[in-house]
Chains A and B, each alone.
Chain A
């Protein structure tokens, strides 16, 4: 090896090598300092957060067994009255009859109530999405810079949409429960208002990217602003709008499952009740149902969206 590589002294004497070496050490040192600084800042922030949230190990340790307890109780039997429950997870239990406390049938014995509530939850999502879609559709045109000459109108519409989407939905629902009473109506309005804000922003962005030549064509034939929008813009943006609307629907199904936590209808209120009373079987039953319904709706909506986009791609460019 020694006959191939130059001797260390020869390397050291080379000025370009020395320059490289100083630059290299300098860079490396700087990088290391940067890492140390970032790590220190992060550690400090974590420390502050731990103190503020009382995230102490001893509290975690006292609480942690109670999380496991849930599954223990879910899959355990009491051999005699008064005895300690024995954890059991067996197919025999799982597929036993309605009387068997660990069976799936026992978990779901109130499936009728759940089905009604889930149906209501999905209907809430549908009507709220429809409301949000309609309002966002109407507001997206005055919120598009390229369609409206009046600057203040664009500004005001945009701020309205911004406020509508930045207030947390659950908070909105909690507030609306006071004027509109406990029940799905408050939830629908809250989700609808939030959807208006979220969709309105997306729609106005679609509008701003629309091709204005069609609009100019309508204007040339003497169409007013409404007809220009109706025949010049709407046909090209509608497929995009629908796709965003479906995506929003998926999100709204999730929201409507939890909006009941504050009394605004749907399966959420029932879920909160069974968690509060520690009815283990029903908690897992509802959790599974919520997961299932969300998955089914996601898959269905994904299909429709794929078809919508496929149709778009299949259409000849005009």
Chain B
């Protein structure tokens, strides 16, 4: 039967079987077409709704103002009159904020990571609770933490350091406990077999295995935090963001462009340095 083509006597059952086997060779059935049409109509309606919700018409009236801003941004004829000392000081403040926040959170996350690891604390309830605490620290954005700490500590970089510290502790504690859970059991058993105490088992059996991972994760966080730290100043938590927001508010667009460029360069430098150190850490 197979191999011969009988154009005259194909039964509907055969067609249906062929359609079931290779559906995409056939034209879409009418209800598939209707469904496709309904989806398309729904998408168009939805876009219309969003257009109404967000007043997208304003895009067109905004473009000439955007053009004006862009033109001012690249006119640096007053470069010598800008307050360079203040800008550079704030940039240094931002970098140190990111560094201090990450360093502190790395220190605190180390014991927390052990507390959250399954192979260190077998209790499910305890682990559930610690993990949820990490989730809350991580789940609220750094900018929200910055707002909270600005209220408590007042304006200035100290609030920024604390914001980075809290949210980063959440991230690092989670990653650390996962690294600890993935540590090889053989080495841990080996240390335990020598009669080492629980603490010594962790110190000699687990820590050497996970230390490079932890350090490289902390460095990775340092990169990400130095990006984030640049915007914390927008809510008053110190650093270059504060200068940026001042410049935006007085429409000093040329300085805004300069500060953004400065941020991009600084972040790129930190990324490069950190990537080199991480590569060295991983290779041993």
Binding site for B on A (CB under 8 A): 42, 45-46, 48-50, 52-55, 59-60, 63-64, 66-67, 69-70, 120, 123-124, 126-127, 166-168, 170-171, 174-176, 178-181, 183-185, 188-189, 254, 257-258, 261-262, 265, 271-272, 275-276, 278, 287, 290-291, 294-295
Contacts and interface: CB of A to CB of B under 8 A. Distances in A.
**Interface size bracket, B side:** 35 or more
B55 A63 contact: no
Nearest to B63: A179
Interface in B66-105: 66, 68-69, 92-93, 96-97, 99-100, 103
Nearest to A64: B152
A52 B50 contact: no
A59 B139 contact: no
A167 B50 contact: no
A274 B240 CA distance: 25
B151 A275 contact: yes
A63 B158 contact: yes
Contacts of A69: 152
21 contacts: A45-B103, A53-B97, A53-B161, A53-B238, A55-B158, A59-B158, A63-B149, A66-B153, A67-B149, A127-B54, A166-B267, A170-B143, A170-B231, A171-B241, A171-B244, A176-B66, A180-B66, A258-B141, A272-B147, A291-B140, A295-B139
Interface of A is mostly: helix
B6 interface: no
A214 B148 CA distance: 55
Given A52-B92, A53-B157, A275-B147, A262 B56 contact: no
A266 B59 CA distance: 18
A294 B140 CA distance: 9
Contact of B156 (A54, A70, A183, A254): A54
B251 A178 contact: yes
Contacts of A53: 93, 96-97, 100, 157-158, 160-161, 238
A271 B231 contact: no
Contacts of B153: 59-60, 63, 66
Interface string B249-284: 001000010001001100100000000000000000
Contacts of B227: 168
Contact of B260 (A54, A171, A275): A171
A243 B251 CA distance: 40
B230 interface: yes
The secondary-structure label for the interface of chain B is: helix
Contacts of A42: 103
Nearest to A178: B69
A271 B144 contact: yes
Contacts of B256: 175
Contacts of B136: 291
A181 B58 contact: yes
B248 A174 contact: yes
A272 B99 CA distance: 26
A312 B55 CA distance: 39
Nearest to A52: B96
B53 interface: yes
A127 B161 CA distance: 33
A287 B92 CA distance: 31
B235 A184 contact: no
B74 to A, nearest CB: 14
A188 B208 CA distance: 46
B69 A175 contact: yes
A167 B260 contact: yes
A167 B264 CA distance: 7
Interface centre among A54, A126, A254 (most CB of B within 10 A): A54
Given A54-B156, A178-B248, A171 B230 contact: yes
Contacts of B63: 179
B58 A185 contact: yes
Given A52-B157, A55-B161, A63-B153, A291 B139 contact: yes
Given A179-B63, A272-B235, A261 B147 contact: yes
B152 A63 contact: yes
Contacts of A49: 96-97, 99-100, 103
B104 to A, nearest CB: 9
B245 interface: yes
B65 interface: yes
B62 interface: yes
B65 A179 contact: yes
A45 B230 CA distance: 19
Contacts of A294: 139
Contacts of B190: none
A272 B63 CA distance: 28
A276 B148 CA distance: 9
A45 B99 contact: yes
B184 to A, nearest CB: 23
